[in-house]
Structure 1
């Protein structure tokens, strides 16, 4: 009966989604807000539809490349640190095995195990995979959370492009006279959707994330529209 209950009890923790969720929502929000703000600013300067579209495409390409490059450099730096830590741990395991075993034992004692049980666990895990045990329990490194620069760069570029595509599509489909307002409305709706999606996927209440991302998106649109209007008046 106990084994049967264990099989039925399948927990799904939202914390496992935090890494990819943060990157995806950040990329899409950046793409949507930055591209929409750029296009709204150009539209406020009473530019032609062609100029608005060119600014949007340029913003999408430049932003996607920037996001990818920044994420690649950042995650590569994290990977370098992880690799250095693991190399150091390999050396210490080879040179000071008893000290490393004692270190692992102390970690388990601090987590609530008795000294005898901590001894048994430390010895068993060391015999099975000493480096894996120290990477996980001493350094906090796991395979699921390992740094992957290329994957991170690609995901950032794709999500940024997906967000940036929204104002571009709206600009293509909208009449010239209402391009700016149409982009603004679509951006607000997109931000509400992204905020709600991120909150839902992360298991958090929706209202605060939606209000937060929508407020800052509107601020960006308002500022760039003002700048575009001022430059358009000067021109």
Structure 2
């Protein structure tokens, strides 16, 4: 009976985009809200600024992820096209190249040559993509998936500090927003670490520290100018 084994790295593509989106949503929106509140704005102005930040941030994250990951995808396709051409024009040279890779990984030369020949007979392009170029189903670029994951998780993250703004009066926001946002960040870091099999305390501490720094700096700017919006 075949054992279907799943690894944490299979989640790396969507997990990276999801964590980045949610983290950015919490940090940027909470920082924006704090900056506006520290400048002496009313609750309505703070909320409007936060909602505008949510919409703009979600679109920015989606566009940025799509463009970035599309560039990676274009590079992968170009590399695969070049490899396909080389396989068609010089298959023996490509087999030797693949065998050399396996020798460097520890196989005996004769065994490496046999393995290279068998893998190329089965799927030459797939073997070279995986072992020469480092392209696999796990790491391959997926622009639309990354864009949608980032936009959705940014919106969810940004909605959390906005919920605090909706529920609490303006004079409590300077303490409630950073406190709740740091809690959200800690939970996000812990969840991401657990999903990816990483140390929970390290991940939670990392996102909490940088989130606190971002909010402190933005609140300081708002307090420094202290203008009515």
Note whether the superposition's TM-score is higher than 0.5.
yes
Runs (5+) with no aligned partner, structure 2:
none
Q: Which residue of 2 aligns with 1:167?
A: 161
Q: Which residue of 1 aligns with 2:12?
A: 18
SS of equivalent to 1:141: coil
SS of equivalent to 1:138: helix
Alignment of 1:81-120 (within 5 A): 81-120=75-114
SS of equivalent to 1:229: helix
What is the aligned counterpart of 1:41 among 30, 35, 47?
35
Q: Which residue of 1 aligns with 2:173?
A: 179
8 A Cα contact 2:39 2:228, kept in partner: no
Residue 24 (structure 2) pairs with residue 30 (structure 1) = yes
Q: TM-score, normalised by structure 1?
A: 0.91
Whole-Å separation in 2 of the counterparts to 1:220 and 1:105: 50
- CA offset at residue 234 of structure 1? 8.3
SS of equivalent to 2:226: helix
8 A Cα contact 2:41 2:228, kept in partner: no
Q: TM-score, normalised by structure 2?
A: 0.93
Residue 131 (structure 2) pairs with residue 127 (structure 1) = no
SS of equivalent to 2:133: coil
Whole-Å separation in 1 of the counterparts to 2:50 and 2:94: 56
Runs (5+) with no aligned partner, structure 1:
none
- CA offset at residue 23 of structure 1? 1.8
After superposition, the C-alpha distances for 1:16-65 in whole angstroms (9 at most, x for unaligned) are 33332222111111110000000011111221111011100111111111
SS of equivalent to 1:216: helix
- CA offset at residue 11 of structure 1? 5.0
- CA offset at residue 120 of structure 1? 1.8
What is the aligned counterpart of 1:152 among 115, 126, 146?
146
8 A Cα contact 2:40 2:227, kept in partner: no
- Runs (4 or more) in structure 1 with deviation over 3 Å come to 10-13
